[in-house]
């Protein structure tokens, strides 16, 4: 029989033990064992004790103080360059709130715990609640490094930056080999938001966030109630990268939830033909044309209720491209008299708030 001892009651036993002869165990007798003075015999059992295992964190932790560190340069390139981001398959997410929103959704969708490759924390900051188990590596950095990575001079509200993998629900058709299989991203779509030349990352992020808020169905959500598949977004040429840091901040992680395809007009036409979708484009009224808001909403809602639809929105500066005007049915937007310029985000909200609440009958 093995006996172990420790220096005080209740401590972990992992060092010392003594062997009592088997015959003494059989006859229920204990021979005197040499126990160090001042120590207590804690327990006994027939095999040597296995020390209890401590909980080992799933991540590695290191510290970086120099802005010239190769890893920090890598992070800065992820923020600056779209091609670098997509070639490495990672996006840089700044701020605890968007990081938490993205990881919460990714964990729910993929049923996995590790969704952050690296979590960068300001020296002295605690790991935000719920993120410790979501990352494979924690990097403690100085305020100088945080400023370098984020590109911001004021970092009072920034305690965390994360490197998160770009989701498989995003596809750039330039990098796609073979014939496009749009059913992989949009199994059976009812609504596709098509953005035509939206170059401002704040506007693009807000549009994606608005679409998600007003009824587009995200990856992983059930479609049984409405009887249709994943809706999403299609980005035409000249649109900015949805994983641009500013776009991510404006979208609040919507680009991780909506299926998004970036491609040319020929790809959009293939998508349209495959799902027999109607192409609608929002367009300002021509001079002398009067249209009330109620008739506009009625017209758009009727179309959305009966047909699968691609809604095309152009940029503020240049409006719809010639390709959009030629390929789409133009829907006239009622223009309130006091408003001489309608921001593309306000336009999107104006359309989505009423028209996209229409019941779906297909």
pLDDT one-digit tens code per residue, 133-185: 777 789 999 999 999 999 888 888 888 999 999 988 899 998 887 778 888 88
- Point out which residues pair with 137 in neighbouring strands: 60
The CATH number fitting domain 60-165, selected from 3.20.20.80, 3.40.30.10, 3.30.1330.30, 3.40.640.10: 3.30.1330.30
Average pLDDT over residues 183-203: 88
Q: Is 5's pLDDT higher than 50?
A: no
DSSP string, 90-140: EEEEESHHHHHHHHHHHHHHH--S--EEEEEEETTPPPPTTTGGGBSEEEE
CATH 3.40.1280.10: which residues of the chain?
170-355
pTM of the model: 0.72
**Contact predicate 156/127, CB 8 Å:** no
Q: Give the confidence band of 343 by pLDDT, cuts at 50, 70, 90.
A: low
Q: Is 339's pLDDT higher than 50?
A: no
Cα distance between residue 187 and residue 191, in whole Å: 12
The DSSP secondary-structure symbol of 44 reads E
The CATH number fitting domain 170-355, selected from 3.40.50.970, 3.40.50.300, 3.40.1280.10, 3.40.50.1260: 3.40.1280.10
Going by C-alpha positions, the residue among 256, 194, 196, 187 that lies closest to residue 222 is: 187
Q: Give percent of the chain above pLDDT 70.
A: 62
Q: Is 200's pLDDT higher than 80?
A: yes
Average pLDDT over residues 192-209: 92
142 vs 50: which has the higher pLDDT: 142
Q: Give the list of residues 6+ apart from residue 21 with CB closer than 8 angstroms, or none.
A: 31
Going by C-alpha positions, the residue among 31, 4, 33 that lies closest to residue 16 is: 4
Q: Give the confidence band of 84 by pLDDT, cuts at 50, 70, 90.
A: very high
CATH 3.30.1330.30: which residues of the chain?
60-165
Cα distance between residue 168 and residue 109, in whole Å: 12
For residue 59, the model assigns a pLDDT of: 54
Cα distance between residue 355 and residue 313, in whole Å: 15
């Amino acid at each position: 029989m093995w006996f172990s001892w420790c220096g005080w009651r209740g401590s972990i036993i992992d060092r010392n033990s003594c062997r009592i002869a088997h015959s003494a165990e059989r006859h229920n007798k204990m021979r005197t064992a040499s126990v160090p003075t001042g120590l207590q015999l804690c327990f006994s059992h027939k095999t040597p004790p296995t020390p209890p295992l401590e909980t080992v964190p799933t991540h590695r932790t290191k510290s970086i103080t120099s802005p010239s560190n190769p890893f920090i340069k890598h992070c800065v390139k992820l923020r600056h360059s779209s091609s670098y981001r997509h070639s490495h398959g990672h996006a840089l997410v700044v701020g605890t709130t968007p990081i938490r929103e993205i990881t919460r959704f990714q964990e729910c969708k993929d049923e996995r715990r590790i969704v952050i490759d690296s979590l960068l924390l300001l020296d002295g900051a605690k790991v935000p609640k719920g993120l410790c188990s979501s990352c494979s590596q924690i990097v403690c950095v100085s305020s100088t490094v945080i400023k370098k990575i984020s590109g911001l001079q004021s970092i009072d509200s920034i305690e965390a930056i994360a490197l998160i993998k770009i989701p498989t629900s995003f596809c750039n058709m330039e990098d796609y080999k073979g014939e496009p299989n749009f059913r992989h991203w949009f199994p059976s779509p009812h609504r596709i938001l098509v953005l035509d030349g939206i170059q401002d990352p704040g506007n693009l992020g807000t549009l994606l966030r608005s679409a998600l808020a007003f009824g587009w169905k995200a990856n992983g959500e059930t479609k049984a109630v409405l009887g249709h598949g994943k809706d999403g977004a299609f980005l035409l040429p000249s649109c900015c990268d949805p994983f641009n840091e500013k776009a991510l901040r404006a979208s609040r992680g919507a680009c991780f939830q909506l299926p998004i395809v970036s491609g040319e007009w020929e790809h959009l036409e293939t998508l349209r033909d495959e799902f027999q979708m109607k192409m609608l484009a929002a367009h300002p009224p021509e001079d002398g044309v009067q249209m009330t808001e109620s008739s506009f909403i009625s017209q758009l809602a009727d179309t959305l209720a009966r047909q699968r639809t691609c809604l095309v929105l152009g940029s503020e500066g240049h409006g719809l491209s010639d390709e959009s005007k030629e390929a789409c049915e133009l829907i006239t937007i009622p223009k309130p008299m006091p408003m001489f310029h309608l921001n593309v985000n306000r336009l999107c909200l104006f359309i989505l708030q009423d028209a996209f609440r229409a019941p779906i009958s297909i």
